[in-house]
Amino acid sequence: MKNCCEKCGKELGFFERSLKINNSRINIQYDALCSECHRTIKEGISQIDEMYQRVMGNLKENYHATNMAAVDIDTLIFLAVEALLVVEPNYFSDKTSLNQTIINRTDRIINKQNDMAKIVYKVLLYGFFDNLENNGLDKSKNFVSYMMQNTLYMEQLSMNCSEEVPRTYVNAFFSRKGFIMERIEKKTLLYVMIKDETVIDYEMRQTEDYYLIDFKNLFYTGDPEKNVQCYVNGVENAKTITKTIDNFNTKTTKKEERRIRDTLNIINEKVVRDLKSLKPDEAIDTIHLDCVLLCIAKNIRKDPEGRKSPIQAPDGLAVELLWKKYTANLALMGIDSKEKAAEYIAKNCLYADGFHVKYGKKDPETGWAFFATKGYIVAFDQSKRLFFMYTDDYPNDLYFPCNEMMYNGRQYLQLPMEDEVPNDDELDGILFFSRDVKLIMGISHYFERNNMFYQMENFIEVEEAVYGDPEQLMEVKRVSDHLFRDFGYMPFCLYDEWYVIQKELRQDDILLNRLIPEKSGLRKRYATGDVIYAPKILDAFKNGAKELQANLEIAGESIAKGLLWCYFKASLIDTLSKEWVRIGGDILAAGDDLVTAFFKYSSLKTIEPEKTYYIGLFIYYLMDKNILPDTDFLDNYERAVQTFLECKREVDRTLAEQPAEPITREINTEPETPRPQAAPADAAPEPEFKPLNWDDDKRGE
């Protein structure tokens, strides 16, 4: 019996040795091969191994994959095609060892995409059998059919992938995970990577010579500013490409929906377990939304799929999970839509990542945190420690006090805690710091905003207690009156002085920031902008608040400042309106309006109406008479001055035409006794009364 080569059929000589190959990984087995076929197949198998090693290297270096069995089949196909085009670009030629090993073509017709699919199948069979089996593609027929339906290979396309010319000819491979372009004239490869969740956005336009397919959100790996454009001859070729892209998008959308659904179910199981542990005696539907959000944030951040979605994103997993599983909890807060749920998270919560955090004696670590109005999570990346705090009370002191401090040469944000650190040399509480100043400032502002509500509640309680105790109220009056005795009434009648005082007080204290309305619609200055009294008054105010805090035993200087401010501001209108009556008289009658009032004011002869001091006193008088709103001096100033100017011009014109009898009514302009105490030695000098500068171009910004 003749002994022939199982591959080529060549008769083996009597003395010629028959060679065997048995590779179970790719189902290649020959018991009798001639030396030439044996060498060819060995080379082909070696190329398959080379392609496998290239795929593995890409997965580890560029995809950071650790569990190869979990890599999806489309990614493996894309990387295997890339490896094939690098290792053996002429794979379709029957003269190559790879083609002879895998294809064994018997007809003359070459189908490059079909050949590509058969070789890719062997590469994946060689090293990724579990991935094939998990997707039901472990049989060659099934895999080739899948790849032919879910990828596209087209030759002689024109694309904008050249740096030298606007368009160049390529052979292109399209897949859901990326495009590979083989430049025909240079035989070089260019890549376009597509992320898992990307829905390809394209537009097809027809010109006289070709169809342009413009991929708006796909960019070349080597040029991230350049989006992919494909120029196709013939409507059928253009439709083939767009149909393939539409199939990609449909599959991506369905896969993403399935991924989100599975991820939400996994996360929700853990959230429910945490909620039952935190609130064992309370129905989940009645638990406060903040508690639910804390558990959601914790488990989203721990889940490898969940952490891909930003927690505060309007279309993120947190909002999706709330809307699917916790509508009852949302309803308790009056939230009846996903948009309102996203708005609640954006306004009332803060997620922060990438900062350094330190607690106790251990070295700082990187960490992440999620803050809500009723609790917070602070997680340490390296040690895996996690602080979870929650309270049913609101307002609360979870973030109070919020201290910015220097420690070991670094600026920290300190969040005190009730637990004491064993080492007295270590700072109490959690310390946050980062090179990203905006990140730390964002955390600080969030703490301050929540502390404002806590401080406001404490302030209201203290204010009610003080006003209910005559002795304590007398102490507040004493400190407030001291400001008048030291500085007189002048500073509070000057726009620029009063503007700076209020602005600095708002910036200096979180509670005052709430109590003093922001003056965003006002001028920053009215006359020259120069201030003399403001710095001294600010210092005196702070010292007075400290004195008040000590004498009334108030917990917190901020509350003492708020108490002093509210009393002082309320006394301004009463005190300064009485001062006007003493100087200028109670000149208004029932039914007088603003214009009538300033006609009377402008006609006075016992004072100089143009002087800012008298105008200031008269404004307080008008506020007391409810002719001007009793909100704030600054709010009324510009309207009052404009009205005064118009009335003064009319009075002056009338007097010029018909000279009026001078007013002889005597008005006592001397100060009341007891006379105000002399200003301290370091107080600012008393300026002379000067008329307003009515020149429009010098009256402020």
Asked if 593 contacts 640 with a C-beta cutoff of 8 angstroms, the reply is no
pLDDT value for 661:
53
Count the neighbouring beta carbons within 10 Å of the beta carbon of residue 589. Answer: 9
Distance CA 134, CA 20 (A): 32
Residue with tokens 């935190």: 278
> Which of 82, 128, 86, 122 minimizes the C-alpha distance to 104?
122
pLDDT value for 371:
96
pLDDT value for 683:
42
Cis amide linkage into residue 691, ω under 30° from 0: no
pLDDT value for 665:
41
Tell me the residue ranges of DSSP E strands in 134-259.
152-159, 168-175, 178-183, 189-193, 202-206, 211-220, 223-232
* 74: CB partners within 8 A, 6+ apart: 150, 175, 176, 177
Does the domain at residues 260-449 carry the CATH identifier 2.30.29.30? yes
pLDDT value for 32:
80
User: Within the chain, which residues score under 70 in pLDDT?
Assistant: 1-2, 13-18, 106, 407-409, 418-427, 519-529, 658-701
Strands ordered across the beta sheet of 168-175: 189-193, 178-183, 168-175, 152-159, 223-232, 211-220, 202-206
Distance CA 161, CA 171 (A): 12
Which residue(s) pair with 215 in the sheet? 202
Q: What is the 3-state secondary structure (H, E, C) of 48-86?
A: HHHHHHHHHHHHHHCCCCCCHHHCCHHHHHHHHHHHHHH
The ranges assigned to domains in the chain are: 19-116, 152-233, 260-449, 476-701
Distance CA 369, CA 350 (A): 8
Report pLDDT digits (tens) over 542-577: 999 999 999 998 887 889 999 999 999 889 899 999
Question: CA dihedral defined by 649, 653, 659, 662, rounded to 10 degrees?
Answer: 0
> Which of 414, 377, 245 minimizes the C-alpha distance to 302?
377
Task: Name the packing angle between helices 338-348 and 289-302 (round to 10°).
Answer: 90
